[in-house]
Structure 1
Amino acid sequence: MEEEYPMPFSLEWTKEEIIDVMEFFQVIEEAYEKPVRKETVLAKYRRFKQIVPSKSEEKQYFRDFDEKAAVSCWKTVQQAEKQEAGEAFKMI
């Protein structure tokens, strides 16, 4: 997605955590542009959950990003979970 917009993050996170969360959001965007591998999405999501373990915080970050990027983080993660091992998929 070509449009530039701020990705949600917390000032309490380390530089590494901010980069990891940004990589998660980037793979979500990629899933709407081209096929991405199930394992890539789920690995980035697992790391995101280590940084943001609270379900309510996760929902807030997802909502903020979804609105700005016109994507659905949760639907993308759900679609990844449905895929067979090694499969790539693209969101429509």
Structure 2
Amino acid sequence: MNYNYPLSHHWTTEEIINVVDFFRVVEKAYEGTIERAEFMSAYNAFKKVVPSMAEEKTIFKEFEEVSGFNSYRVVKKAKEGNDGDLISIN
């Protein structure tokens, strides 16, 4: 990983950890598989930090520009899945 996560200096340390954890599970979905429950847990924690859809879209775009990973695709696939599913973007 040779990029920086899109973070806000307004967030607390705990909020930054939640956002970074979310982007790590997005990476995991692209690099292999992740359990849907684990992904949704990280996404729900992310949404507590970034509740606005507009801000989410902006952060997802910034992350995709630096990493090449489309967070929206993973979120969509996870939301369409069921408990026990493995999420993978290949």
Please indicate the TM-score interval, normalised by the length of the shorter structure.
Answer: over 0.9
Letter in 2 for 1:17: E
Q: How many residues align structurally? A: 90
Correspondences of 1:1-92 after superposition (within 5 Å): 3-92=1-90
Q: CA deviation at 1:75?
A: 0.7
Structure 2: how far apart are the matches of 1:34 and 1:74? 17
Instruction: Assess if the C-alpha contact under 8 Å between 2:74 and 2:87 holds in 1.
Output: no
- How large is the Cα RMSD of the aligned pairs? 0.9
Q: TM-score, normalised by structure 1?
A: 0.92
Q: TM-score, normalised by structure 2?
A: 0.94
Unaligned stretches of 5+ in structure 2?
Answer: none
Q: Secondary structure at the match of 1:53?
A: coil
Unaligned stretches of 5+ in structure 1?
Answer: none
